[in-house]
């Protein structure tokens, strides 16, 4: 089944998505990877306010390759290449992130371990084809702004406007069904058979 | 006798080589991906392979890197013992990386391992990583292989017991299962067996440079079939092609040792070569 979503997202928008469905997203998305996750959690612990809102947000595990086209204005950036990074590195930080903020969609590649429980009734994980960075760049229509550029280009939080961003495959749905975990379990069984 | 190439021309050639490696995949890699797409029956896996093929075409047409992880730069140089450049080749390669980072552009990926401070230009201590091999003759062949972290992070080195030769296949399979969709399958697997702790890893990395259409030994074929039987598929979402090829390289080792290294390569098996001193 194919779905088209528009940000910001409500829980009703994502509850209808089932593992294996195809999704396209339009609107605003934010990039965040290792360092940004760590800083979001750290600021939360200190009770500090984030410079951006994660309410109904789409978080994209991505360290884009950007090129500066202007002289220091935040908007003067061009997206060169912006595919998903390995979500597995964010596995541990994701349950506390979802507890503190109403993030409704996480986009990444390769899946995450032990997050499906934390995602139940809250968030979906959408898989974007790893390495497809030229394709992703085509679907990003605007670089709205950038936060935390001090973390470096790949680790900063880029606020991007996207148009029909996809195809994204629902990897983990709000019911807790996790395609990656199922594939892994099956592979382990095949290996156990081979060892016999 | 010195080669006729100037330092400036050499730097230009290496920067152009980097551009080629980042933007275009070798024909044998594209062909292997096309074949995988044609034979794939799982609709999700097929959609992923189609996205990959479309991405390859877009990157080439627009002249942009195919993946935002433009990697760290690894060079394999075969230096003819009679080739003389008259300038510091390593420093020139380094300058070419700095130039290419701005020109192409490339994502600055090189950081200090402890402070995590980014150098900003893809160079740093011992990076770019340049491997020199002395060969007979008057030529210098340079291959660049930009390596992304997604696949590199899932690679493994195991110091096995010498009596465990029969378990090598299972160690490869465990590594591939543990990696799942994280290293962006369909993969190419470079397996280095023997040598020493570091030599095995080097052999595994060199094995990734083998053409994907090169004939595989029965051992390589056996591992490839077993890897694909796991059903991990493109991006770990299930499917029939988890790996496109397995290449094994071996070296004699200590009688008490059995080092086994598995270097994982994502679908974007990027590399390009150039030869200097051909006309002499």
Tell me: the pLDDT tens digits for B27-45?
A: 999 999 999 999 999 999 9
Q: Across the strands, what pairs with B250?
A: B193
Instruction: Give the pLDDT of residue A196.
Output: 86
> Three-class SS of residue B1?
coil
**pLDDT higher than 50, residue B69:** yes
Note whether A127 contacts B235, CB cutoff 8 Å: yes
A170-174 average pLDDT score = 97
Nearest CA-CA distance, residue A99 and chain B, Å: 25
Asked if the C-beta of B143 comes within 8 angstroms of chain A's C-beta atoms, the answer is no
Nearest CA-CA distance, residue B22 and chain A, Å: 11
* Dihedral sign (CA A174, A177, A180, A181): positive
Q: Across the strands, what pairs with B132?
A: B77
- Please check whether residue A182 is in contact with residue A120, taking contact to mean a CB–CB distance below 8 angstroms: no
Closest Cα in chain A to B48? A129
What count of Cα atoms within 13 Å lies in the side-chain half-sphere of residue B94?
13
Note whether B105 contacts A67, CB cutoff 8 Å: yes
Give A171's contacts (C-beta < 8 A, 6+ positions apart). Answer: A19, A111, A125, A126, A127, A178, A179, A180, B237
Asked if the C-beta of B181 comes within 8 angstroms of chain A's C-beta atoms, the answer is yes
Q: Of A187, A190, A195, which to mutate for an interface test with B (greatest number of B Cβ within 10 Å)?
A: A187
CA end-to-end distance (rounded Å), chain B = 10
Tell me: the pLDDT tens digits for A56-85?
A: 999 999 999 999 887 655 568 999 999 999
Give A147's contacts (C-beta < 8 A, 6+ positions apart). Answer: A51, A52, A156, A157, A159
Q: Where are the domains of chain B?
A: 7-23+66-147+271-277, 149-265
Q: Out of A30-39, A60-69, B125-134, B175-184, which region has the weakest mean confidence (pLDDT)? A: A60-69
**pLDDT higher than 70, residue B192:** yes
Q: Of A130, A173, A179, which to mutate for an interface test with B (greatest number of B Cβ within 10 Å)?
A: A130
Note whether B59 contacts A67, CB cutoff 8 Å: no
Whole-number Å distance between alpha carbons of B189 and B192: 10
Q: How far is CA A8 from CA A60, A104, B164, in A?
A: 14, 9, 55
Cβ count within 10 A of residue A1: 10
Q: Where are the domains of chain A?
A: 2-195
Note whether B170 contacts A111, CB cutoff 8 Å: no
- Please check whether residue A111 is in contact with residue A178, taking contact to mean a CB–CB distance below 8 angstroms: yes
Instruction: Give the pLDDT of residue B3.
Output: 74
Q: Across the strands, what pairs with B158?
A: B260
Which listed residue (A3, A37, A61, A147) is catalytic?
A37
Nearest CA-CA distance, residue A70 and chain B, Å: 15
Q: Of B168, B223, B235, which to mutate for an interface test with A (greatest number of A Cβ within 10 Å)?
A: B235
* Dihedral sign (CA A104, A14, B236, A133): negative
- Please check whether residue B17 is in contact with residue B272, taking contact to mean a CB–CB distance below 8 angstroms: yes
Note whether A183 contacts B181, CB cutoff 8 Å: yes
The question of whether A37 is a catalytic residue gets the answer yes
- Please check whether residue A113 is in contact with residue A91, taking contact to mean a CB–CB distance below 8 angstroms: yes
Which among B48, B170, B183 has CB closest to A129?
B48
- Please check whether residue B12 is in contact with residue B212, taking contact to mean a CB–CB distance below 8 angstroms: no
Instruction: Give the pLDDT of residue B280.
Output: 47
Asked if the C-beta of B19 comes within 8 angstroms of chain A's C-beta atoms, the answer is no
CB < 8 Å to A129, chain B: 48, 51-52, 55, 234-235
> Token digits for B280?
């002499």
Whole-number Å distance between alpha carbons of B183 and B155: 9
Note whether B47 contacts A22, CB cutoff 8 Å: yes
Percent of chain B's residues with pLDDT above 90: 97
Note whether B69 contacts A153, CB cutoff 8 Å: no
Residues 29-68 of B with CB under 8 A from A: 44, 47-48, 51-52, 54-55, 58-59, 62, 64-68
How does the average pLDDT of chain A come out, rounded? 94
Asked if the C-beta of B173 comes within 8 angstroms of chain A's C-beta atoms, the answer is yes
- Please tell us whether the domain made up of A2-195 is placed in CATH 3.20.130.10: yes
B65-82 average pLDDT score = 96
Cβ count within 10 A of residue B221: 13
Question: What is the per-residue burial (b if ≥16 Cβ within 10 Å, else e) of A29-44?
Answer: bbbbbbbbbebbeeeb
- Please check whether residue B148 is in contact with residue B67, taking contact to mean a CB–CB distance below 8 angstroms: yes
ipTM: 0.90
Whole-number Å distance between alpha carbons of A26 and A6: 5
Tell me: the pLDDT tens digits for B136-172?
A: 999 999 999 999 999 999 999 999 999 999 999 999 9
Nearest CA-CA distance, residue A131 and chain B, Å: 5
Q: Of A110, A139, A171, A189, which to mutate for an interface test with B (greatest number of B Cβ within 10 Å)?
A: A110
């Amino acid at each position: 089944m194919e779905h088209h979503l528009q940000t910001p997202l409500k829980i009703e928008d994502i509850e209808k998505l089932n593992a294996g469905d195809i999704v396209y997203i339009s609107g605003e998305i934010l990039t965040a990877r290792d360092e940004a996750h760590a800083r979001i959690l750290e600021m939360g612990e200190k009770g500090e306010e984030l410079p951006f809102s994660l309410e109904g947000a789409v978080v994209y595990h991505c360290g884009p390759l950007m090129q500066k086209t202007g002289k220091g204005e935040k908007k003067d950036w061009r997206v060169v290449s912006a595919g998903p990074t390995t979500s597995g590195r964010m596995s541990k930080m994701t349950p506390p992130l979802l507890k503190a903020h109403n993030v409704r969609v996480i986009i990444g590649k390769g899946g995450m371990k032990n997050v499906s429980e934390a995602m139940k009734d809250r968030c979906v994980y959408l898989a974007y084809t790893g390495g497809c960075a030229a394709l992703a760049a085509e679907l990003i229509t605007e670089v709205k702004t950038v936060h935390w550029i001090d973390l470096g280009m790949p680790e900063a939080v880029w606020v991007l406007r996207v148009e029909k961003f996809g195809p994204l495959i629902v990897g983990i749905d709000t019911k807790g069904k996790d395609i990656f975990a199922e594939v892994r379990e099956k592979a382990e069984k095949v290996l156990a058979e081979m060892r016999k | 006798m010195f080669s006729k190439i100037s330092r400036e021309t050499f730097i230009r050639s290496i920067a152009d080589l980097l551009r080629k490696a980042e933007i275009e995949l070798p024909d044998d890699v594209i062909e292997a991906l096309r074949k995988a797409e044609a034979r794939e029956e799982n609709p999700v896996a097929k959609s992923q392979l189609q996205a990959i093929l479309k991405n390859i075409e877009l990157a080439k047409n627009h002249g942009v890197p195919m993946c935002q992880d433009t990697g760290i730069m690894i060079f394999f140089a075969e230096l003819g013992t009679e080739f003389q450049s008259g300038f510091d080749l390593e420093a020139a390669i380094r300058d070419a990386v700095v130039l290419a980072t701005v020109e192409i552009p490339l994502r600055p990926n090189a950081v200090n391992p402890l402070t995590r401070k980014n150098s900003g230009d893809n160079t740093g201590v011992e990076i770019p990583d340049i491997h020199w091999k002395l060969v007979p003759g008057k030529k210098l062949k340079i291959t660049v292989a930009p390596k992304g972290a997604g696949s590199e992070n899932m690679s493994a080195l195991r110091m096995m017991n010498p009596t465990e030769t029969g378990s090598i296949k299972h160690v490869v399979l465990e590594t591939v299962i543990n990696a799942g969709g994280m290293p962006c399958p369909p993969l190419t697997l470079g397996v280095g067996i023997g040598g020493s702790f570091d030599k095995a890893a080097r052999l595994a990395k060199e094995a990734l440079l083998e053409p994907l259409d090169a004939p595989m030994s029965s051992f390589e074929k056996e591992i490839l079939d077993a890897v694909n039987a796991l059903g991990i598929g493109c991006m770990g979402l299930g499917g029939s092609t988890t790996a496109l090829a397995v290449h094994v390289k071996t070296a004699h080792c200590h009688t008490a040792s059995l080092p086994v290294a598995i270097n994982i390569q994502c679908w974007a098996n990027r590399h390009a070569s150039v030869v200097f001193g051909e006309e002499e």
